[in-house]
């Protein structure tokens, strides 16, 4: 059950169009068995997406987004998410069914993130004029980009520093 989802993660990460056969093979199970657990390919994908996004939400929660000081939370959450995504990230981009559990949780995560950004803005960590929706999307993009080339080797904390620094100060010259 869980092992099938794990195998699916691995296989689909390499080839999003992989067949049920390949997934079954990767989890050392007959294709029929997969079909017995998951009525359809879509059902499997939904289950995978839901399970993964659920754990992502947990990793974020561990950073205490609405109680820790914004900067601290930002760092901790970034590091947690990096670590999680580098191992399980693929399934988060999976095309889950409209209105599925995965989608709902994703939205919940976005709300959590916005809440954190609002607190950061209130405390002057983010410019008061900033478009927080844009900031959030940039934040997401930076995380994705950081993983794009430093998959295994890099220390999540180091990467997190880089991301938060870029998010807040950009690439322009430092005036201090």
Partner DNA sequence: AAATATTGCAACAGTGGTGATGCAGTTATC
Partner DNA sequence: GATAACTGCATCACCACTGTTGCAATATTT
Nearer to its own copies, 99 or 172 (CB): 172
149 binds, among its own copies, DNA, none (CB under 5 to 8 A by kind): its own copies
Question: Of 36 and 169, which CB lies nearer to DNA in the complex structure?
Answer: 36
Q: How far apart are CA 40 and CA 88, in angstroms?
A: 22
Q: From CA 142, how far away is CA 133, in angstroms rounded? A: 14
d(CA 4, CA 53): 17
**Which option in DNA, its own copies, none does residue 35 bind, with CB closer than 5 to 8 A by kind?**
DNA
Q: Which two tokens stand for residue 66?
A: 């609405």
Dist. CA 50–CA 35, nearest whole Å: 18
CB of 106 to its own copies, least distance (A): 15
Q: At what angle do helices 156-169 and 132-149 cross, to 10 degrees?
A: 140
Is there a contact between 47 and 38 (Cβ–Cβ < 8 Å)?
Answer: yes
33 binds, among its own copies, DNA, none (CB under 5 to 8 A by kind): DNA
For residue 53, the minimal CB distance to DNA (Å) is 22
Token representation of residue 167: 């998010």
The residues of the shown chain that bind DNA, judged by CB under 7 A, are: 19-21, 28-33, 35-37, 39-42
41 binds, among DNA, its own copies, none (CB under 5 to 8 A by kind): DNA
In the complex with DNA, which residue's Cβ is closer, 16 or 151? Answer: 16
Given the complex with DNA, which of 21 and 107 has the nearer CB atom? Answer: 21
Q: Which is nearer to DNA, 98 or 152 (CB)?
A: 98
Structure tokens of 3? 């092992």
155 binds, options its own copies, DNA, none, Cβ within 5 to 8 A by partner type: none
CB 81 within 8 A of CB 166: no
CA distance 85 to 159: 13
The residues of the shown chain that bind its own copies, judged by CB under 8 A, are 17, 124-130, 134-135, 137-138, 140-142, 144-145, 148-149, 162, 165-175
């Amino acid at each position: 059950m869980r092992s099938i989802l794990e195998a699916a993660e691995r296989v689909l990460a390499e080839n999003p169009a992989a067949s049920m056969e390949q997934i079954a093979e990767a989890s050392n199970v007959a294709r029929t068995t997969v079909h017995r657990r998951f009525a359809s390919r879509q059902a499997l994908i939904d289950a995978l997406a839901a399970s993964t996004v659920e754990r992502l939400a947990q990793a974020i929660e561990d950073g205490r987004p609405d109680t820790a000081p914004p900067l601290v939370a930002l760092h901790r959450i970034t590091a947690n998410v990096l670590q999680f995504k580098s191992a399980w990230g693929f399934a988060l981009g999976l095309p889950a069914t409209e209105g599925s559990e995965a989608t709902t949780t994703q939205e919940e995560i976005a709300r959590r993130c916005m809440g954190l950004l609002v607190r950061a803005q209130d405390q002057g960590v983010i410019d008061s004029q900033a478009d927080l929706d844009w900031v959030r999307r940039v934040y997401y993009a930076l995380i994705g980009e950081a993983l794009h080339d430093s998959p295994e080797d890099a220390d999540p904390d180091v990467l997190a520093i880089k991301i938060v620094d870029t998010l807040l100060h950009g690439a322009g010259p430092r005036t201090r």
